Amino acid sequence: MVQSLVCGGFFRDLKVWRKWRWSSVRVSCFTSELLLRYNRMGPVVTVCAELTHTHLVSLAEELQESFVFLTHPVFQAVHRLDQPMFLQACDSLMWLQGPFALLALRMEDVTGEGGFRKEVVQPGEGPTIPREASVLLYYSAFLEYADQPFDTICNFKYPRMMKLGRDVTLAGLELGLLTMKKGEFSRFLLQPEYAYGEMGCPPLIPPAATILYEVQLVDYFDTAQSDHFVALEPDEQNALPLSVLVSVTNTLRSFGNRCFNQGRYDNAKDRYKQVMAALMNRLKEKEKEEEEAVKALLLPVYLNLTLTELRLESPRKALKYANRALDIDPQNTKALFRCGQVYMDMHEYEQAQNVLIMAQAKKPFDCDINSLLMKVAM
């Protein structure tokens, strides 16, 4: 991100000039020279009295490239190379009180009263996040003039999963997330009423602190329906249409697959078992015409559980789920292959070879099956 120098206290005290990573103003020879020459500065008049014609020309070029607010007196003064006018304009430049004030100028006032502002850095795609969704995201939170975030998860290997309405506690952050789309990267500037309030959260958050959030939304799952479904009693679940069960199954499996891909095997297992329990309960209660449809939904869940238990180093549990998959479809190639993996893990090589030969008969050119057969033969 582009770094810049911005001034606090209306230019009156250049000691508070800091590097600011979000500003579009570029570091110029003018600002760099001032910092080097005036390590401990006095009021603005003392500083600006030192400004030469060259300084003003340099600043004019910088402002011309960086801002669109060229009607403000400070820009008019610079472009006219008028030093007295420049001093007066700087003194009245209320919006340069600090980096957050400067940043707010290019942000959208979402609420209309300035308490919550948003800047889209990288647009996303698709619909915005629905309420009560589960989101995968990275974020960092900053106080004004801070060089480092006071809270961040950007150093995590995988994005964090958070449930809106439960895990997100700041009103402003949740409001911001509800405006985002998949793949979007945005910044939110939160006034105290949308962040930590007038009290703050000492000692980390000072009173009446304005907070800046940088958020990258990796993905989200509309889990409102599935969360409601899981909370129901079995009889209440069975009273719902099959289409609801199919939707819940797909959502929970997708959720579980995401956890599995991140190496969170226990979380993945929990999601798969939620699906399995709902489907098995449906098999006990519903009419015969739904049985095949429910079994078709159960088959991939058993295969997911088989591989998850293998990753958790529980081969006997994995074998149980693999055999359940074969009970539904004895000729299923993936189920046969999973059984072969389980038997290999249990060092039962003859049984592994038998099921893998059956799988090979279905798919003779499958690389995974042939590779595992070669390992068995060795």
The residues near 82 (Cβ < 8 Å, ≥ 6 apart) are none
Please, are residues 224 and 133 in contact by the beta-carbon 8 Å criterion? yes
Q: How far is CA 363 from CA 16, 20, 274, 360, 371, in A?
A: 70, 59, 32, 5, 13
Q: Of residues 286 and 67, which shows the higher confidence score?
A: 286
Domain range summary for the chain, segments of one domain joined by +:
4-101, 107-221
pLDDT-derived band at 2 (thresholds 50, 70, 90) equals very low
**Mean pLDDT along residues 53-75:** 49
Q: How far is CA 322 from CA 23, 330, 363, in A?
A: 56, 10, 18
CA-to-CA distance for 223 and 140, rounded, in angstroms? 25
pLDDT score for 61? 54
pLDDT-derived band at 262 (thresholds 50, 70, 90) equals confident
% of the chain residues with pLDDT over 90: 48
pLDDT-derived band at 85 (thresholds 50, 70, 90) equals low
**Phi (first) and psi of residue 195, to 5 degrees:** -125, -105
| Alpha-carbon dihedral 57, 58, 59, 63, rounded to 10 degrees | 100
Q: What is the DSSP letter of 14?
A: G
pLDDT score for 375? 87
Q: What is the maximum alpha-carbon separation in the chain?
A: 93
pLDDT score for 25? 32
What's the angle, vertex CA 344, arms to CA 343 and CA 349, rounded to 5? 80
Residue 165 pLDDT greater than 60, yes or no: yes
**Mean pLDDT along residues 265-283:** 92
**Mean pLDDT along residues 289-300:** 89
What per-residue string of b and e applies to 290-300 under the rule 16 or more CB within 10 Å gives b? eeeebeebbbb
Cis peptide before 203 (omega within 30 of 0): yes
pLDDT score for 58? 58
The residues near 18 (Cβ < 8 Å, ≥ 6 apart) are 5, 6, 8, 99, 145, 147
Residue 146 pLDDT greater than 70, yes or no: yes
CA-to-CA distance for 304 and 322, rounded, in angstroms? 9
Please, are residues 276 and 248 in contact by the beta-carbon 8 Å criterion? no
Amino acid present at 181: K
pLDDT score for 103? 80
**Mean pLDDT along residues 149-155:** 91
Count the neighbouring beta carbons within 10 Å of the beta carbon of residue 131: 10
Q: What is the DSSP letter of 288?
A: G
Q: Of residues 27 and 352, which shows the higher confidence score?
A: 352
**Mean pLDDT along residues 362-372:** 91
Of 233-242, 285-294, 329-338, 365-374, the least confident? 285-294
Please, are residues 232 and 275 in contact by the beta-carbon 8 Å criterion? no
pLDDT score for 97? 52
Q: What tokens appear for 216 in the block?
A: 């990258």
**Mean pLDDT along residues 11-38:** 33
Residue 3 pLDDT greater than 50, yes or no: no
**Mean pLDDT along residues 88-112:** 67
Amino acid present at 233: E
**Mean pLDDT along residues 338-365:** 92
What number of helices (H) and strands (E) belong to the chain? 16, 11
- Closest by CA to 119, choosing from 128, 131, 107, 127, is 107
pLDDT-derived band at 79 (thresholds 50, 70, 90) equals very low
% of the chain residues with pLDDT over 70: 73
Residue 341 pLDDT greater than 60, yes or no: yes
pLDDT-derived band at 60 (thresholds 50, 70, 90) equals low
pLDDT score for 135? 92
Q: What tokens appear for 4 in the block?
A: 């810049």
CATH code of domain 107-221: 3.10.50.40
